[in-house]
Every structure is written in structure tokens, then in C-alpha cells.
């Protein structure tokens, strides 16, 4: 059984883009520890202890995978109750192997377990020639030969390890989704492109407590149990909240009444543009919902004084002082570079010496004084631009931006822990929704969803039109209908693209290119409807895994998690010794798995450096 062949390196052409490229300045690798049991045999030439060889006369039963899992597997149980490691068929075709085995043994469905096939060797099919198996190309035979006229040594690569960890590779530049992977992912040595998937499964278990992951001791396979989510409801959106509706919910002292109801209306339809300047301050936490008009006036006066004190700090730095302050100098250089290319097609920022660009620059420089440890990181100008456009006021835009950065801070921190966590959580949700699509992405070395990096980093800012982003952000700021709603938006977009990706058999590069080209072509209302429907579907499900409940912030006290199933024997016997009995009447079945012990990068190590401009 062979995994897809190595993808070709990308060509030398680079797409023209106004965004700067970022470089990875540090990666971390580790070497997986070998087995510690003293009687474990040594394995030379990269052959794993999970290789096995047995005669069909010793075969007792075959256990098949549960219906609906990502890819199929078979587990062979011998007459001495030895259970061999599962054979995983990443590209399907396990049924073809069963059909070929039926030429030599009689397979009957177990009355106790429909997934278990019992073996009876007393059958006329035993007289058929086993050489016919060699004519079946679907099995990916890589070694074949006859043993004593009737025995075949069938050597199978259990699976090919996927490319080395894409997480460290993704940290190359969010602005060029098609290009940033290849700059660091593709090395000159093909052997460095492989790593065991179980290491990622181990990390997922540690990173998200309660996540139900099934894995074999043999690296290369993990499954999050699929459950029936039930029927997805139909969702309708409403018209944007009008100024009149907003005013009706304000009392005589200026307090907002029925806050929960107001948030529901904003979530369902967004805000009319004339209302955004006022309502966004509440949604972002700049104004408390229960504050009076007088209290807000006092707050604005206080915040205005605070803002200009911070602005004066960097404004008063002389050239001589700045020469001795490399961090401030670097922040200024980055900001000036980014400001000159942020939303320049928008009238608010177009042209030379535009006042909007000056305000953008000054707010970002002042934020460096507000949070000097973080300072400025590329991408932050994308988050500020819509806020300044709506507020049309330097001070209000700054404090709304500071509030938004409180939510987005982890995305830009040195270790990028927020990005790593979100990519893992997105993978968990997508596997629950569509394990088949996840399996396809994994087969194309895209299972880590690194093509969603830009979506998450700047909250879809470059995927939707400017006006659509205003609508999308205000909906997300309501924190409805669940925690991490933006991850469900990602799932909704991917669900829309699933058919084209799979029907056209897109590979690694094609998937990246296709996702990148979705920019400015996504219907925001359609995606909001679909994401909300997904959330309602999950809320109604009574068997959500605990990890999913935690991701979405759902109550899980009464939620039950179904038992996992990876093809392990119910008695836990997956590590028995290899059976190598030979027979003069039946063929011998063998599987050889290669084990790669070379160091490989940790999937999402906390020591991965931040993105820095090249």
C-alpha cells in the first residue's frame, strides 16, 4: 500500500505581490525515542518491528474498519490469538485485498460482529493460483516472489510518512499562501520530507485535553471518532440593525437596554453603516454596555489624554536617541513600509500624502508605546485599517484597535501559540464535520490546514471585500453563537470548496493555489448562514466529543464521547510477536513497514520563532 508519490518542487516563478516576504529564523527538531523493552530485536535497513509474515493456514479472522472512517484498514488475527498491526489503506482498495484472499480461503461474516470476517480454509478456492495477485496493481505491491512454488512474499510499505511538519513551514509568510509553504517546506533531501503522523497525534492529545484520538503504536495513523451530527438546520439572515432600532434600545441616560437581544440582532444582520461608529465601541469593549452617556464622555476625555501622552513619547524621540534604540527604529521602519501598501485602493487611503495614511502610521507607532513588548508585527495594519475607516477619529480608532488586539494578541506573539492552537482546533472541527475530506487533504499532505493560516492570522481581512469585512467582523464581535465562531467560518468555506478540490484531484500545490485564489470571491452572507447552521447542528448533537465542546465553549457535563475505534482488538492485543509459519498448501502473506528514526521538526513547538521581515 503506497502513499502518493512525492510532489514536484514548485517552479522558480514567484507571483508578484506588494506584501513583504517573511523568513523563519528558528526551528526545533527532535528524535523519537526507540522502544525501551530489553527484548526488542534490532531492526536494520530501516525495517520496522511491525513487519510481519504469516501463512494463510494460520489466519483466524480479519477485522475491518468501522463504516464512515477516513480510510480503511484491516487487522489480521491468527489462530494462536496473535493480533497483527493494522494495515491502513490510505488510497482505499482494502476490499480488493479481501476479494483476492477469497480465492484461497472462505471468509464468512461473524454473527457477533459484522465487521469481523471468520476464515475457513477448506474451500475449492485453495486450488486457484496465487500468482493472480500479482496482476492486481491496486495493492501497490513493491516486492513479490514465489516461496516453494505456492508461497508469496508480499512486502508492503505500511504507509509513507507525510512531509516534515508543515506548521514550522507555514511560518514563512501569510501574504503569499501559494508561495510561503514551498520556500521552507521543500528541501533538497527527499528523506527530510517524511515524519510519522502519530507524533502529531501525541501533540494533539497534549495540546487539547480530552481530545479523543485513536492511534496505533506504528507511527502514521490517527482518527478522531466520527459521530452522527444529525440534520443541519436552515438559517435565514435579517436586515442590518438600523439607527431607529438602536435608538429604541437606549434609555434616557444613554444606557443600552436588552444587550443580549441587541447582540442577537447584530449577529443575525450586522449594522447599518451609519450606526457602526457608535456601536463598534460597545462591541469591542471600548465602551461598557451599561455605561451612561455622561460616563462615556468622561471616559473619552480620559482616553484622549492618555493617547496623546503616549504619542508624545515617540514623537519626542530625537534622531540621536532613535539611533540607540534599535527596537523603536525597527518598528518605525516596518510601519512605514506596511502603511504605504495597506488598502490603497480604498478612497480613504488612496493617493500620496493621504491624511488617512498619516493617521494609520501615528496610531501604529503609538501602539508600540502602549505595548512595547509586542510592538508592531506585520499584519497589524490590516486590523487597524477598517477601524480607522469607520471611526474617522484618531483616538477612538486607537482604543478600538487596542481592544481588538487584546483578542488577537496571541496571533502576533513571538511563539505564535495562538496560531498553532487555532490550526489544531480547526483540524479537530473539520474532521468531526467531514472525516472523508480530512483524509483526502492528508493524502495530499495538506492535513494540517496551513493554507488557512492567513484566514486566521488577520481574521479573513484579505479574503473578503472591504465592506464585507466590516459586516463579518461586527458579527464575530458579538461572540455569538459560540466561542471560536471564526473556526466554523473556515469550515464553511472549506465545505464549499470540497467538491472542486476532490473531484479535480487537487494536489498539494493546487490546493494552496485554489484557496489563495478565493480572495475577494467569497459570499459573506452565504458563509455566515452556513457557519451558523453548523454551530446549531453541533449544539443539538448530544454526543459531541469533549474537545469540540471545549473549542466551541459548549456545556459538556451531559455530553458523552463515543468509544474510539482504530482497528485494535478489544482485548488490546496489537503488539504480539510476528507469526512466520509456512505452509505447503497456502500462500504466505507478509508486510514490511519502514521506520524513519531521523530527526524531524516538532509540529508546533513553542520554540518556533515569530515571523520577521526578511
Residues 256-283 have pLDDT tens digits of: 999 999 999 999 999 999 999 999 999 9
Asked whether the beta carbons of 489 and 429 are under 8 A apart, the reply is no
Backbone dihedral angles phi then psi of residue 76, each to the nearest 5 degrees:
-95, 130
Distance of CA 212 to the CA centre of its chain: 16
- The most confident of 157-161, 191-195, 518-522, by mean pLDDT: 518-522
Average pLDDT, stretch 48-72?
77
Task: Give the residue from 414, 418, 72 showing the smallest Cα distance to 221.
Answer: 72
Q: How far is the C-alpha of 266 from the C-alpha of 471, rounded, in Å?
A: 9
Whether the predicted pLDDT of 149 surpasses 50: no
Asked whether the beta carbons of 214 and 220 are under 8 A apart, the reply is no
Q: Locate 143 and state its grid cell.
A: 516486492
Task: Give the residue from 269, 266, 300 showing the smallest Cα distance to 280.
Answer: 266
Map residue 52 onto helix, strand or coil. Answer: strand
Task: Give the residue from 302, 303, 304, 296 showing the smallest Cα distance to 279.
Answer: 296
Whether the predicted pLDDT of 491 surpasses 50: yes
- The most confident of 139-153, 205-219, 577-591, by mean pLDDT: 577-591
Mean pLDDT of the residues in the chain: 74
Average pLDDT, stretch 402-415?
95
Whether the predicted pLDDT of 69 surpasses 50: yes
For residue 481, cis peptide bond before it (omega within 30 degrees of 0): yes
Of 183-187, 248-252, 375-379, 403-407, the least confident:
183-187
Asked whether the beta carbons of 11 and 182 are under 8 A apart, the reply is no
Whether the predicted pLDDT of 134 surpasses 90: no
pLDDT of residue 474: 98
pLDDT of residue 98: 85
More confident residue, 70 or 598: 70
Q: Which helix (H) or strand (E) holds 77?
A: strand 72-78
Q: How far is the C-alpha of 195 from the C-alpha of 198, rounded, in Å?
A: 9
Going edge to edge, which strands form the sheet with 116-120?
Answer: 87-89, 72-78, 59-64, 116-120, 106-109
Which residues sit opposite 546 in a β-bridge? none
Whether the predicted pLDDT of 586 surpasses 50: yes
Average pLDDT, stretch 583-601?
48
Task: Give the residue from 440, 360, 353 showing the smallest Cα distance to 392.
Answer: 360
How far CA 279 is from CA of 288, 381, 387, 566, in Å, comes to 11, 22, 12, 50
Largest distance between two CA atoms of the chain: 97
pLDDT of residue 558: 40
Whether the predicted pLDDT of 160 surpasses 80: no
Q: Domain limits of the chain?
A: 1-6+24-180+568-609, 226-233+415-562, 303-411
CATH class belonging to 303-411? mainly alpha
Q: How far is the C-alpha of 136 from the C-alpha of 122, rounded, in Å?
A: 24
Question: What percent of the chain is predicted at pLDDT more than 90?
Answer: 51
pLDDT of residue 226: 58
Q: How many CA atoms lie within 13 A of 45 on its CB side?
A: 3
Task: Give the residue from 557, 477, 223 showing the smallest Cα distance to 549.
Answer: 557
Given CATH 1.10.472.80, say whether it is the number of domain 226-233+415-562: yes
Angle in degrees, 0-180, between the axes of helices 355-370 and 380-391, rounded to the nearest 10: 120
Whether the predicted pLDDT of 288 surpasses 50: yes
Task: Give the residue from 457, 465, 455, 406 showing the smallest Cα distance to 430.
Answer: 455
pLDDT of residue 209: 38
Which residues sit opposite 147 in a β-bridge? 151
pLDDT of residue 349: 95
Of 53-57, 93-97, 605-609, the least confident:
605-609
Q: What does the DSSP 8-state code read for residue 83?
A: B
Helical segments of 228-325, H only: 243-248, 259-269, 273-283, 293-315, 319-323
Task: Give the residue from 486, 448, 487, 483 showing the smallest Cα distance to 604.
Answer: 448
Average pLDDT, stretch 454-458?
97
Confidence band for 477, pLDDT divided at 50, 70 and 90: very high
Whether the predicted pLDDT of 287 surpasses 50: yes
pLDDT of residue 68: 61
Beta strand residue intervals within 453-516, DSSP E: none
Q: How far is the C-alpha of 178 from the C-alpha of 529, rounded, in Å?
A: 28
Amino acid at each position: 500500500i503506497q502513499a502518493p508519490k512525492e510532489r514536484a518542487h514548485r517552479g522558480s516563478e514567484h507571483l508578484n505581490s506588494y506584501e513583504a516576504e517573511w523568513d523563519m529564523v528558528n526551528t526545533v527538531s527532535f528524535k523519537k525515542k526507540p522502544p525501551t523493552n530489553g527484548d526488542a530485536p534490532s531492526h536494520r535497513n530501516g525495517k520496522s518491528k511491525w513487519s510481519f509474515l504469516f501463512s494463510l493456514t494460520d489466519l483466524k479472522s480479519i477485522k475491518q474498519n468501522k463504516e464512515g472512517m477516513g480510510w480503511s484498514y484491516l487487522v489480521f488475527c491468527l489462530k494462536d490469538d496473535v493480533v497483527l498491526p493494522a494495515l491502513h489503506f490510505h488510497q482505499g482498495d482494502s476490499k480488493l485485498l479481501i476479494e483476492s484472499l477469497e480465492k484461497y480461503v472462505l471468509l464468512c461474516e461473524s454473527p457477533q460482529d459484522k465487521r469481523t470476517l471468520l476464515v475457513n480454509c477448506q474451500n475449492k478456492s485453495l486450488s486457484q493460483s496465487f500468482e493472480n495477485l500479482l496482476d492486481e496493481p491496486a495493492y501497490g505491491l513493491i516486492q513479490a516472489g514465489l516461496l516453494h512454488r505456492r508461497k508469496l512474499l508480499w512486502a508492503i510499505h505500511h504507509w509513507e510518512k507525510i512531509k516534515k511538519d508543515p506548521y514550522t513551514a507555514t511560518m514563512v509568510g501569510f501574504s503569499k499562501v501559494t508561495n510561503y509553504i514551498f520556500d521552507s517546506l521543500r528541501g533538497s533531501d527527499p528523506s527530510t520530507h517524511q515524519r510519522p503522523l502519530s507524533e502529531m497525534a501525541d501533540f494533539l492529545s497534549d495540546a487539547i485535553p480530552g481530545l479523543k484520538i485513536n492511534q496505533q503504536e506504528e507511527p502514521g495513523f490517527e482518527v478522531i471518532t466520527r459521530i452522527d451530527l444529525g440534520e443541519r438546520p436552515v438559517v435565514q439572515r435579517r436586515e442590518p440593525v438600523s439607527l431607529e432600532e438602536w435608538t429604541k434600545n437606549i434609555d434616557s441616560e444613554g444606557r443600552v437596554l436588552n444587550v443580549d437581544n441587541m447582540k442577537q440582532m447584530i449577529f443575525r444582520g450586522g449594522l447599518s453603516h451609519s450606526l457602526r461608529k457608535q456601536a463598534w465601541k460597545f462591541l469591542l469593549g471600548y465602551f461598557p454596555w451599561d455605561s451612561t452617556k455622561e460616563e462615556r464622555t468622561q471616559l473619552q476625555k480620559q482616553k484622549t489624554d492618555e493617547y496623546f501622552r503616549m504619542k508624545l513619547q515617540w514623537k519626542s524621540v530625537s534622531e540621536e536617541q532613535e539611533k540607540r534604540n534599535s527596537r523603536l527604529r525597527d518598528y518605525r521602519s516596518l510601519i512605514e513600509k506596511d502603511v504605504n501598501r495597506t488598502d490603497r485602493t480604498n478612497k480613504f487611503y488612496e493617493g500620496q500624502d493621504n491624511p488617512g495614511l498619516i493617521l494609520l502610521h501615528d496610531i501604529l507607532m503609538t501602539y508600540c508605546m502602549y505595548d512595547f513588548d509586542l510592538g508592531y508585527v506585520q499584519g497589524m495594519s490590516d486590523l487597524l485599517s477598517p477601524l480607522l475607516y469607520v471611526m474617522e477619529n484618531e483616538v477612538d480608532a486607537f482604543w478600538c484597535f487596542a481592544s481588538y488586539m487584546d483578542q488577537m494578541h496571541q496571533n502576533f506573539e513571538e511563539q505564535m501559540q495562538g496560531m498553532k492552537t487555532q490550526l489544531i482546533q480547526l483540524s479537530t472541527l473539520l474532521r468531526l464535520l467531514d472525516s472523508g475530506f480530512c483524509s483526502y487533504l492528508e493524502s495530499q499532505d495538506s492535513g494540517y490546514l496551513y493554507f488557512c493560516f492567513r484566514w486566521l492570522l488577520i481574521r479573513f481581512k484579505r479574503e473578503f471585500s472591504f465592506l464585507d469585512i466590516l459586516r463579518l467582523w461586527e458579527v464575530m464581535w458579538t461572540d455569538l453563537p459560540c466561542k471560536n465562531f471564526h473556526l466554523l467560518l473556515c469550515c464553511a468555506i472549506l465545505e464549499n470548496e470540497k467538491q472542486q478540490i476532490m473531484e479535480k484531484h487537487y494536489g498539494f500545490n493546487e490546493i494552496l493555489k485554489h484557496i489563495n485564489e478565493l480572495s475577494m470571491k467569497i459570499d459573506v452572507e452565504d458563509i455566515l448562514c452556513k457557519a451558523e447552521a453548523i454551530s446549531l447542528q453541533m449544539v443539538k448533537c448530544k454526543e459531541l466529543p469533549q474537545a469540540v465542546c471545549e473549542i466551541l465553549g459548549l456545556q459538556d457535563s451531559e455530553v458523552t464521547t463515543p468509544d474510539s475505534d482504530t482497528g485494535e482488538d478489544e482485548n488490546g492485543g496489537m503488539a504480539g510477536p510476528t507469526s512466520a509459519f509456512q505452509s505447503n498448501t497456502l500462500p504466505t502473506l507478509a508486510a514490511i513497514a519502514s521506520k524513519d528514526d531521523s530527526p524531524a521538526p516538532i509540529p508546533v513547538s513553542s520554540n518556533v520563532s515569530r515571523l520577521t521581515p526578511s
